[in-house]
Amino acid sequence: MIIFELPDTKKAIFIKRPNRFLGIVKLDDLEHKVHIHDPGRLKELLFPGNKVLITPVDGKNRKTNWDLLAAKKEDEWIFVHSGYHRKFSQTILEQGLIRQLRPMEKLMPEIKVDGGRLDFLGTIKGQRIWIEVKGCTLIKGDMALFPDAPTKRGTKHISTLIKLKEQGDRAAVVLLIFSKKAHIFSPNKNTDPKFYEEFYKAMEAGVEVYPVSLFLDGNKIYFNRLISIV
């Protein structure tokens, strides 16, 4: 099922990543600066010579005229623009594509709680449910791993969900996994052992976890299925 159609996309060749948010690509034999909207390392995706998808944006009040959307991994496009995560997840939740999270009677984005924000506060059959969304781009074989860089913010989100669950609300993590090849998900212990421990602590506390497989055909994002957790 199509959940989102991307704006105008162009195929380019990745050259380098001068800093966390800036990339250099080659398009039509010219070099262009692109904005990288993802806090991860993305080393297995953003390397010299790899194919990437970019989209033009209004360059007013910003340093680049392009956004980086995806990078090639074998025969798949792996989506790497976290600014779209809320749009994808909102469609998934509102259309009831995750059976356990329906019917979603009300869905409010960006809710302040515990000194930070969570992505959504929803209502299902009269009960509140807090939802945090994470995008997963690191795929090794048939396993999806998150995070690909240490994430204190991500660990705090999980801790907040545990507290909210203990207070009587439902709490859930939706993991957007941009690969059809991923069949299982695991928190990445080698990269962030604290997140790993908090993730399983949350599951034991009753926080729900839904790893969702998505895929990109070049300009459309498709919902594939839920995958299992290690």
Query: What structural domains does the chain harbor?
Result: 2-79 (2.40.50.580), 82-229 (3.40.1350.60)
Number of helices (H) and strands (E) in the chain: give both, helices first: 3, 17
- pLDDT value, residue 40: 87
Which residue type, as a one-letter code, is found at position 197? E
pTM: 0.94
Which neighbouring-strand residues pair with 218? none
pLDDT for residue 131 = 98
pLDDT of residue 59: 73
Q: Which positions of the chain have pLDDT values less than 70?
A: none
- The pLDDT, as a whole number, for residue 62 is 86
- Report the sign of the C-alpha dihedral through residues 128, 171, 104, 93, in that order: positive
What's the confidence (pLDDT) of residue 211? Answer: 98
Terminal-to-terminal C-alpha distance of the chain: 26
Task: Render pLDDT for 159-171 as a digit per residue (tens, 0 to 9).
Answer: 999 999 999 999 9
Q: What is the pLDDT of residue 60?
A: 79
Cα maximum dimension of the chain: 58
pLDDT of residue 221: 97
Pairwise CA distance, residues 115 & 16, whole Å: 36
